[in-house]
Chain A
Amino acid sequence: MSLSPDEVRKIAHLARLAVTDEQVAAWSGELSSILELVDQMNAADTTDVTPMAHPQHATQRLRPDVVTETDQRERFQRIAPAVERGLYLVPRVVE
């Protein structure tokens, strides 16, 4: 499986990574060689094999539906790049 420059651009956008033309060229080669490695999986017959969800087949625990978190908004927002009046600031999304 090899990836064209257009595919690389599309994946980069899905991954929300800005890319330069230089990177697109480098990545299409590198990602293709990684996918070539990964394609070795096709050698295994996995008919009727149940995909692993947890090594010990543990299931998600449930807990009582009670509030366990306290309000720490100020503490958490102190490490944000831009906040104002308790809100996270981003460029305008809705005109």
Chain B
Amino acid sequence: MHDRTIAELAQALARGEVSSVELTRAALDRIEARDSRYNAFITVTPDQAMSQAEAADAARAAGQAGPLAGVPFVHKDIFCTDGVRTSCGSRMLDTFVSPYDATVVRNMRAAGLVMLGKTNMDEFAMGSSNETSYYGPVKNPWDTARVPGGSSGGSAAAVAARLAPGATGTDTGGSIRQPAALCGITGLKPTYGRVSRYGMVAFASSLDQGGPMARTAEDCALLLGAMAGFDPNDSTSIDRPVDDYAAALEGTTIRGLRVGLPKEYFGEGMAPGVRAAVEAAAEVLRDQGAEVVEVSLPHSGLSVPVYYVVAPAEASSNLSRFDGVRYGHRCEQPQDIIDLYERSRAEGFGTEVKRRIMVGTYALSAGYYDAYYLKAQQIRQLISDDFRKAFEEVDVILGPTSPTTAFPIGERADDPVSMYLSDVYTIAANLAGLPALSMPAGFADGLPVGVQLVGDYFDEGRLLGVAHRYQQATDHHRQAPPGAVD
């Protein structure tokens, strides 16, 4: 059963071929037996999972189950779960048991989905390799000497290794799409405001967005349907009905679809195997009747510099809540209140988090606001305008997800700027608030390559539909890492 997709599992549950209790037990046993290879989980929740599975089976017996009831999945450990530790990959929250549920957690429970546990991640979602986690790096199931990408690396690895059929992730600069690409799975960052941020530990509030990660676009459509929706508890949530994404899959045709390839993406820095996969993906869509044209995103080269002002600035503000007073790590024997703050934070946060807090504090400090944050928000508008113009000519934009395949653990750990460039193609969609999806598009030297589709606001249905048609014509998404299907 572990090689089945969410759509297949939902069908098997509906037909009574398997119970949720059986599925959940088997998944928990698999995690127990195999996760030591990957370190994809921070917390496994067998007791809660079994009781949710029993409840799903009972609801089904009573004829009250939704289509996803009883399907197991995992949450990134950034979503607050009432009564279960929410560490966010940080020593700061190592003992933090949330007193409430995130809206996404509540929505998915209401759909009857069964949480198996909470996945490893870069500390406070700051990283592109999962190496910044307090709980140690996650290993890529395709090659355990390599990173799975980040920050949702545990979720990506768990899905790729068939430890769970689906997962939640969050994406501030590529944290769903880049690990999806590096682990050979499908992941979607929705439009900013589509998925509630309430109870999702904040990193950069104007960029953060939760979304689904699974093996297929169809499964991402099913998960997104359960996650998304207006939430009065999130002041930036958009009050707009959720599309029927499953119907959108069937409603999408590639014939006549206008696909744009941004010419700026095909310069230096993209590995040859990645370029080949993007070109091959364009060819697959062209064969199905798409019109592939060149588009221009002239300011895309400024995405990384803009991001490394906006994200650290917002992070430095968001993370000021960790004061050693109300929750989280507190140092021993504080001399005075300043010592309490400074040592609690110095001990609780890891190197990369501190680095970003420092950059953000500097950018927001007196005399620098205009030169950094204001300038960045202006360029952000220019980047957004580039997309608006491009979407007057095309329906979707196709490009690489990550410039390279999975890199060796340790290779970029001491060079923050080279690590930041991992997200050169993904960041712009966050800055503009647009939906974007990564899907498996082939292999280079035995490692998965992902390609990215960016859509216009609230065009998740079309992105998922295009990816679904692509996946009906290809089998890259069906490939499993060595030893993952036995």
**Residues of A in contact with B (beta carbons under 8 Å apart):** 3, 8, 11-19, 27, 30-31, 33-35, 37-44, 46, 49-56, 58, 60-61, 63, 72, 75-76, 78-82, 88, 90-93
Contacts and interface: CB of A to CB of B under 8 A. Distances in A.
Contacts of B343: 18
Main DSSP-derived SS at the A contact region: loop
B349 A79 contact: no
B253 interface: no
A46 B370 CA distance: 12
A15 B339 contact: no
Interface in B145-172: none
Contact of B380 (A3, A8, A27, A51): A51
Interface in B343-393: 343, 345-346, 349, 354-355, 357-359, 361-363, 365, 372, 374-382, 384
Contact of A49 (B306, B339, B381): B381
Contact of A90 (B325, B346, B384): B325
A55 B429 CA distance: 10
Interface string B320-337: 100111111110001111
Contacts, number: 162
B308 A38 contact: yes
A54 B206 contact: yes
Contact of A61 (B235, B301, B372, B433): B235
Contact of A31 (B235, B323, B355): B355
A34 B378 contact: no
B355 A93 contact: no
Interface residues of B, number: 69
A80 B375 contact: no
A39 B341 CA distance: 31
Contact of B345 (A17, A40, A58): A17
Nearest to B420: A37
A38 B97 contact: no
A44 B301 CA distance: 10
A63 B232 contact: yes
Contacts of A3: 362
Nearest to B363: A38
A55 B432 contact: yes
B433 A40 contact: no
Nearest to A77: B326
B372 A56 contact: no
B299 interface: yes
A51 B374 contact: yes
B238 interface: yes
Contacts of B235: 60-61
Q: Counting chain B CB atoms within 10 Å of each CB, which of A49, A54, A56, A80 scores highest?
A: A56
A3 B362 CA distance: 10
A81 B93 CA distance: 12
A50 B134 CA distance: 40
10 contacts: A14-B365, A17-B349, A31-B355, A34-B308, A41-B302, A41-B306, A52-B380, A54-B433, A55-B192, A93-B336
Given A55-B433, A61-B235, A17 B359 contact: no
A40 B358 contact: no
Contact of A12 (B97, B302, B337, B358): B358
A38 B99 contact: no
A6 B238 CA distance: 44
Contacts of A51: 374, 377-378, 380-381
B304 interface: yes
Nearest to A23: B354
B288 interface: no
Interface string B418-443: 00100000000000111000000000
Interface in B392-438: 416-417, 420, 432-434
B338 interface: yes
B362 A79 contact: no
A75 B327 CA distance: 12
Contacts of A44: 299, 302, 375, 378-379, 382
A76 B99 contact: yes
A79 B363 CA distance: 33
Contacts of A42: 375
A49 B325 contact: no
Contacts of A19: 346
Given A12-B358, A34-B308, A46-B382, A56 B457 contact: yes
A15 B357 contact: yes
Contact of B325 (A52, A53, A80, A92): A80
B238 A58 contact: yes
Given A27-B358, A46-B382, A56-B192, A81 B324 contact: yes
A33 to B, nearest CB: 6
Q: Counting chain A CB atoms within 10 Å of each CB, which of B329, B346, B354, B358 scores highest?
A: B358
A55 B302 contact: no
Contacts of B357: 15, 17
